[in-house]
Structure 1
Amino acid sequence: MTRLFNDPAAFADEALEGFAAAHRRWVRPVTGGVVRATATPAGQVAVVIGGGSGHYPAFSGLVGRGLAHGAAVGNVFASPSAQQIRSVARAAYGGAGVLLMYGNYAGDVLHFGQAAERLAADGIDARTFAVADDISSAAVDESAKRRGIAGDLPVFKAAAAAAEQGLPLDEVMRVAERTGARTRSFGIAFSGCTLPGADRPLFTVPEARMAVGLGIHGEPGIGEEELPTADEAARLLVGTLLKELPEDVEVPAGQRAAVILNGLGSVKYEELFVVYREVAALLGEAGVEIVDPEVGELVTSFDMAGVSLTLTWLDARLEELWRAPADTPAFRKGALDAPEQEGRVPLAEDIPDTAVPPASATSRHAADATLAALDAVAVTVGTHADELGRIDAVAGDGDHGIGMRRGSTAALRAATDAHGLGAGAGTVLTRAGDAWADKAGGTSGALWGTILRSLGTALGDQDAPDAARAAAGVTEASAAVRRLGGAEVGDKTMVDVLVPFADTLADAVAEGLGLTEAWDRAATAATEAAAATAGLLPRKGRARPHAEKSLGTADAGAHSLALITRAVHGALLDHAREDHAREDLFHDHH
């Protein structure tokens, strides 16, 4: 249990602030994370890593010479936003491009991909690489769907060492790809983790049992077995990984491997050493030569009681990169020469945009209803946050309610600020979308940012935002979410609600209904579609490895979207009643 915190919503920010204050020799804080205390040498590729909080020393603790040039840090178990990643990457940029590296989770893939696009627009060559080492999360023929767990470290380390040698971005990327292809991990746990402010763990393991094949975000394991002895645990870990070798690796054949026995938060170092003695013996018996092993907490999951084993199969080049010196707050290897004191050229920070585009009187009036709708969204999400977390924890990591509350609260705050500056409905929505994505992180943060931006773009700030324009915006939001997230109807995601909601709204408006009445019909369709997701098996996201567990439970993202559509209808209805001089707030013309 996490005992020392203030406001749980501020935990990640305050932890990062304290980390930076404690490690000024290695890092300095920037918007969105930390970068090295000294500037990236001119002409050196910058390796920027990142992910959610709750995994220390990943990710901020791995910033320093010989390893990452910067780390973007999101909220607890939520990916950093595209804007946070872009900010860290710009601060770390040394003129030779940026490699963005992260674990293979849907939210990270979305946000880091968007950040790479924004960096390209800034004139910075940026590539992305997702580590996918967890063999329990997908079959070998679907290895691209695997999660990134403690294998993050050797892949980050190899790419960063290649960058430190002055190699160009293309070659640094090839090193990341080769290391990732030769890295495998497998984990077990004896209890789940408890997030700051929560009164129960994200999952529980029965007494005298262990979960097998768990993730690092509180996802339950793919199975359970009897509680092992230390030697039995070692045999399970080693035996499982030796059953799946890269295509060009044969054991026994004097193969050399980097070995990481990783504690997930509550397993103490002495326990890890007891397990490692057997791990080393078993690998030796199999003909594997261990190179510079690491035993300790390297990629954690708050206070989860568990361990994972990672093997990176080395060739001569990868061994050189694994052995290369590094000096970071949490990972040190070898010895580096004293750094030259470089005068850092301050980078211009992104100046907050306090001005808003000019808006017509009708659009500013519509912004009143828009703000009321966003307020209703925030209230509804807050009311149901615990319920959404419980639904999400059935087969996922249980943080959906927390992320939605962060996002909706930030969206309302940004919308209120824009409204106070005289913004039209379109700008109020786009500012809200940016804030939702920035503060919530994760997959839902990216998708909700896309929804609000799509709707805001369709409404604009000049024309009367009538029902047809609103329906067109929702239709575009539906298409944009499918493009961005790759999900379709039937995958057990929010798309199972968003598509019928958008289609029903468009049809109702085409029939001549006003926005409030049409939205009512569409919200009813959304509620029915959300309930129907209980009968689906997930094919996307963190719930996919635990598909059977979710059968009979609605998808959390689908359920939250349905709740929101009904809350927005209530806000539209209230505003329409108050605005009795108009048939409907948005001047429905048919």
Structure 2
Amino acid sequence: MTRLFNDPAAFADEALEGFAAAHRRWVRPVTGGVVRAGGTPGGQVSVVVGGGSGHYPAFSGLVGRGLAHGAAVGNVFASPSAAQIRSVARAAHGGAGVLLMYGNYAGDVLHFGQAAERLTADGVPALTYAVTDDVASAGPGEAGKRRGIAGDLPVFKAAAVAAERGLPLREVRDVAAHAGARTRSFGIAFSGCTLPGADHPLFTVPASRMAVGLGIHGEPGIGEAELPTADEAAELLVATLLKELPEDVAAPAGQRAAVILNGLGSVKYEELFVVYRKVAALLAEAGVETVDPEVGELVTSFDMAGVSLTLTWLDDLLEDLWRAPADTPAYRKGVLGEPEASAAPATPAPDTEDEAIPAASDASRRAAGTVLAALEALAATVDTHVDELGRIDAVAGDGDHGIGMQRGSTAAREAARAARDLGAGAATVLAHAGDAWADKAGGTSGALWGTILRSVGTALGDQEAPTAARVAEGVAGASAAVQRLGGAEVGDKTMVDVLVPFAAALTGAVAAGDGLTAAWDRAATAAAGAAAATADLLPRKGRARPHAERSLGTPDAGAHSLALITRAVHGVLLDHQ
């Protein structure tokens, strides 16, 4: 468990601050993460990697020559927000565009995708690539749904070296895709990890058992087996990966592979070496030549006791990129010469976003007070149920839904209060709240709740008094935006299973002539019923999908929290009639 911390909510920020202070030769801090201390040489594509905290040396420890140009770092096990990613990318931009790279988790996909869109609109060409190396998280026919785990490292490195050699942006992404298509990982765990401030791990493994097919966000494995000896663990890891070769690799014999035996946080190096001796022997027996193997902690999960094995099947190009020198705080290989004096970093473009508060009518400013009261009630509801939400989420996910909702709702409430105090109207208060929620919570729920608040605000505007019809229009717009952004549908066991019927009930009641308070009451009742019904569903999206059967009988945490919030907001509407 994590023993040394101050405020758990500040853990990730304080850890990043300390990391940057300890590694000034390699990195400098910027809003949202770190970039290379010497900047990106002018005219070079920048590779910006990122994800949640709790995985060191991923992601900040991989910034330096021969590897990433910058890293965007979110809260513990939560993706960085689009604003954080955009900030890091702008600071790392060398004038030739940015490739944003991350593990394939829903929150990262949302936030990095949004950041790429905003960067491109800013005049900074940006592309994305998600690593999908974990064979346990989806079958070969659904490789695009696989998670990214320790395979992040060889894929990040291949792209970064390609960028340093002057390849243009799209070709750098092509190299990343080539490396990703030839990378496979598989892991096992013996105990779960405990987040800062928590008094129990996110999951437990029975004595003399191991979890098979772990994730790196504290997710439980997809199955259990008897606790193996070191040699038996090696045999399982190697056999699993040799069963699934890339399409262009006919057989392991005669192939070369980059090999990573990765510790997840509390398996000691000596234990890893005991396992690796057997891994090396088994690969040799299969006719595989290992190239520059890495044994150690490369992508961790706080204090999880577990190991994973990664194989990147090399061709001449990938072997050259894998062997290339690197110099970062946590990963060094070979010897790099001094950077050329002419390779001056490009000056990042200034941030031109207008932070001024738009003018608002008196009616909209009065409505902003009701909006603030609703956000205060929302945050109080989350505070009351934070442990329950975490418990529900931990059944098949990583157990951080309550913590993430608490971070986001608290930030939204404070941002809304500050905007209201400056005379903002309802739309601007909701926009500031949505941005703050996405920024502080990160993860999937951060992106989606930021979208919900902004969508409702857009419908309300800053000039006219809100009406029941406008509120219903905003909620319907939020429902559509969440489905479009997250890709979930009704029946996938997500918050969409509540948001869609809530929006439909609200729209129908308003159209039938109900006032806002009565219509919201009907819709909140529909939301509660829909949330309870998710207990009978199997998840088809998100981190819970690989553990679908475990969640049967338990409602979705995001759906449940949304239903609780809709009822809390109804109480505010009663008070403000």
TM-score relative to the length of structure 2:
0.99
Amino acid at match of 2:566: T
Equivalent residue, structure 1, for 2:228: 228
Give deviations 1:414-455, integer Å, cap 9, x for gaps.
101100000011110111001111111000000000000000
Q: What is the rounded CA distance, in whole Å, between the counterparts of 2:362 and 2:118 in structure 1?
A: 33
Partner of 2:418: 417
Determine the C-alpha separation between the residues in 1 that align with 2:93 and 2:310. 30
Aligned to 2:435: 434
Letter in 1 for 2:565: I
- The one-letter amino acid paired with 2:265 is G
| 1:572 CA displacement | 1.2
**Conservation of the 8 A alpha-carbon contact between 1:82 and 1:111:** yes
Shift of 1:248: 1.2
By how many angstroms is 1:124 displaced?
A: 1.1
Tell whether the 8 Å contact from 2:106 to 2:444 is kept in structure 1 after alignment: yes
**Are 1:302 and 2:302 an aligned pair?**
yes
Amino acid in the other structure paired with 2:376: D
Counterpart residue number, 2:313: 313
Amino acid at match of 1:401: G
AA paired with 1:230? Answer: A
For residues 242-263 of structure 1, the C-alpha deviation after alignment (integer angstroms, 9 at most, x for no partner) is 0000111133431000000000
Question: Any unmatched runs of 5+ in structure 1?
Answer: 577-590
The question of 1:403 aligning with 2:404 is answered: yes
Deviations 1:197-245 (A, max 9, x none): 0000000000000000010001000000000000000000000000000
CA contact (8 A) 2:411 2:436 kept: yes
Amino acid at match of 1:463: E
CA offsets, 1:139-197, max 9 Å, x none?
10000000000000000000001011111111111110000000000000000000000
Alignment correspondent of 1:143:
143
* Alpha-carbon distance in structure 2 between the residues aligned to 1:489 and 1:179: 35
Per-residue CA distance 1:353-399 (angstroms, 9 max, x = gap): 55211001100011110000000000001111111000000000000
How many Å apart are 1:77 and its aligned residue? 0.2
Match of 2:506 in 1: 505
Deviation at 1:348, TM superposition (A): 5.8
> Which residue of structure 2 lines up, in the alignment, with residue 107 of structure 1?
107
The match for 1:32 is 32
What is the rounded CA distance, in whole Å, between the counterparts of 1:531 and 1:126 in structure 2?
A: 41
Offset of residue 349 of structure 1? 5.4
- 2:336 corresponds in structure 1 to 336
Specify the alignment match of 1:463 in structure 2. 464
Corresponding residue for 1:588? none
Label 1:252 to 1:143 Cα distance change in 2 as closer, same or farther (>3 A): closer
> 5+ residue gaps in structure 2?
none
**Matched residue of 1:150: which SS?**
coil
The answer on 1:563 being equivalent to 2:555 is: no
C-alpha distance in 1 between matches for 2:252 and 2:45: 37
Q: What letter corresponds to residue 482 of structure 1 in structure 2?
A: Q
For 1:229 and 1:550, the matched residues in 2 are separated by: 31
Moved more, 333-342 or 169-178: 333-342
- Give matches, 1:343-492, under 5 Å: 347=348, 350=351, 354-492=355-493
Letter in 2 for 1:432: A
TM-score w.r.t. structure 1 length? Answer: 0.96
Q: Percent identity?
A: 82
Q: Deviations over 1:399-420 (max 9, x none)?
A: 0001100100010111011000
Question: Hey, what's the Cα distance between the residues in 2 that align with 1:223 and 1:404?
Answer: 29
Tell me the secondary structure at the aligned position of residue 159 of structure 2: helix
Q: Secondary structure of the residue that 2:262 maps to in structure 1?
A: strand
Structure-2 change in CA distance of 1:123 and 1:345 (3 Å): closer
CA contact under 8 A between 1:251 and 1:288: conserved in structure 2? Answer: no
Distance between the aligned counterparts of 1:138 and 1:429, measured in 2?
Answer: 38
Q: Map 1:568-587; keep pairs closer than 5 Å.
A: 568-576=569-577
Establish whether residue 284 from structure 1 lines up as the match of residue 303 from structure 2. Answer: no
Equivalent in the alignment of 1:199: 199
1:355/1:421 contact within 8 Å kept: no
Give the Cα–Cα distance (whole angstroms) in 2 for the partners of residues 128 and 354 of structure 1: 28
Counterpart of 2:187 in structure 1 is 187
Give the partner amino acid of 2:413. L
- Tell me the equivalent position of 1:245: 245
Code of the residue aligned with 2:180 in structure 1: it is: G
Residue 125 of structure 1 corresponds to 125
Deviates further, 204-213 or 164-173: 164-173
Q: Is residue 65 from structure 1 mapped to residue 69 from structure 2 by the alignment?
A: no
Query: Corresponding residue for 2:163?
Result: 163
Deviation sequence 1:14-40 (CA, Å, 0-9, x none): 000000000000000000000000021
Deviation at 1:352, TM superposition (A): 7.6
Partner amino acid, structure 2, of 1:33 = G
1:55 corresponds to: 55
Q: Aligned partners of 1:50 and 1:516: how far apart in 2? A: 43
State the distance in 2 between where 1:308 and 1:211 align: 12
Secondary structure at the residue paired with 1:270? helix
Q: Secondary structure at the match of 2:295?
A: strand
Name 1:264's counterpart in structure 2.
264
Counterparts of 1:299 and 1:349 in 2: how far apart (Å)?
A: 33
C-alpha deviation, 1:344, in angstroms: 5.4
Structure 1's 102 and 227: CA in aligned 2 closer, same or farther, altered over 3 A? same
Which whole-Å CA distance do the structure 1 matches of 2:325 and 2:345 have between them?
23
Provide closer, same or farther for how the CA distance between residues 281 and 469 of structure 1 changes in structure 2, counting only shifts above 3 A: same
Counterpart CA distance in 2 for 1:539 and 1:50 is: 25
Q: CA deviation at 1:339?
A: 2.5
- 8 Å CA contact 1:367–1:419 kept in 2: the answer is yes
Q: Which residue identity is paired with 2:399?
A: G
Per-residue Cα deviation, 1:242-285 (whole angstroms, up to 9, x for no partner): 00001111334310000000000000000000000000000000
Give, in whole Å, the separation in 1 of the partners of 2:213 and 2:87: 35
Q: Secondary structure at the match of 2:560?
A: helix
* Distance in structure 2 (CA, Å) of the matches to 1:53 and 1:428: 29
The list of structure 1 runs, each at least 4 consecutive aligned residues, that deviate by more than 2 angstroms after superposition, is 250-253, 339-355
> Is the Cα contact below 8 Å between 2:94 and 2:346 reproduced in 1?
no
How big is each residue's C-alpha offset from its partner over 1:116-150, in whole Å with a ceiling of 9 and x where there is no partner?
00000011111000000000000100000000000
Query: What is the letter of the counterpart of residue 435 of structure 2?
Result: D
How much has 1:346 moved relative to structure 2? 5.4
Partners of 2:41 and 2:346 within 8 A in 1: no
**1:77-96 deviation line (CA, Å, top 9, x unaligned):** 00000010000000000011
SS in structure 2 of the partner of residue 136 of structure 1? helix
Are the counterparts in 1 of residues 131 and 148 from structure 2 also a CA contact under 8 Å?
A: yes
Contact 1:251 1:287 in 2 (8 A): no
| Residue 43 (structure 2) aligns with | 43
CA distance in 2, matches of 1:410, 1:397: 22
Q: Secondary structure at the match of 1:56?
A: coil
Answer whether contact 1:265 1:301 (CA < 8 A) is retained: yes
User: Deviations along 1:486-517, whole A, 9 cap, x unmatched?
Assistant: 10100000000000000000011111111111
**Which amino acid in the other structure matches residue 499 of structure 2?**
L
Tell me which moved more, 530-539 or 353-362: 353-362
CA distance, structure 1, for counterparts of residue 354 and residue 194 of structure 2: 38
8 Å CA contact retained: 1:5, 1:11: yes
Name the CA distance, whole Å, in 2 between partners of 1:157 and 1:344.
Answer: 20
**Residues 516-567 of structure 1, C-alpha deviation per residue, up to 9 Å, x if partnerless?**
1110110010001000000000000000000000000000000000010011
Q: Which residue of 2 aligns with 1:580?
A: none
